[in-house]
Amino acid sequence: MVFASITFALLLSAAPGKSEQAPTWLTFDVLNSEASGKHRILHLGDLLSSRSDIPDLPTARGVMIYATTFDQCSNGACLEIAGIVRETAPLGGLVLVLLLDPAENLSRPRKEIPAARYAFPVIQDTHGIVRDALGLDRPGEIVVINSDAKIVRFSPASDSRAESERKLSEAKKVFVGALRRDKED
C-alpha cells in the first residue's frame, strides 16, 4: 500500500508542471442517470467532497475518466471499464466514461447507453468543455483525479488496442493505489 502511495506521488511529481489541479467546477452531463443515483448532472467538486446533503449523490475518494467513442464503448471498451468499476467502487472509486463523439452523432448513444445498464456513468460533452478542461483529445486517454483534486494523465502512444489496454492497466493500478492511500488516511 505504501508502494501505491509512492507510485502516485512519483507520477504526480514527474508530470509536466509538477502536479496539476483538476477544475472542481467541472460539470458532467450523464446519459445513464441510473448509474449516478438518478442524477443527470454531476459536479466534480461535489463528487470529491464528503457532502451528505445531496441525496443519492455518488461520492468518491477518487475519479477516473476514460475517454472513448460510442463505437469503441460498444465494441468492448466499456466491458473493460466495468471490471475496473467492480474493483475500485468498494474502495471509493468512481469511474466515468467520456464520449468523444461530436454532438451530431450522439442521438444513438442517447438511446442505447441508458438501455445498456452500465454500472458507471457515461457522460456526453456536446460543447467540448470537459475535453478542454481535462485535456482529453482522443480515445484511450485517461485522467485519474485523487481526493485532493490532483490529476495524473495517461495517454496511449499509439492507437493500437494493445497500447490502450496497457495504459488502462497502468491507470487502474495508480487509481487503486490512490484510493487505498486515501482510505488509510
Written as one string, the DSSP assignment of 44-61 is HHHHHS---SSTTPPP-S
DSSP single-letter state for residue 90: G
Residue of 150, 143, 149 lying closest to 167 (CA atoms): 143
What percent of the chain is predicted at pLDDT more than 90? 62
User: What are the pLDDT digits (tens) for 131-161?
Assistant: 999 999 999 999 999 988 999 999 888 878 7
pTM, two decimal places = 0.87
How many separate domains does the chain show? 1
Assign residue 100 the CATH number of its domain: 3.40.30.10
56 grid coordinates? 443519492
Quote the domain boundaries for residue 75. 2-184
User: What are the pLDDT digits (tens) for 6-38?
Assistant: 444 444 444 433 469 999 999 999 999 999 989
Please check the confidence at residue 48 and state whether its pLDDT lies above 80: yes
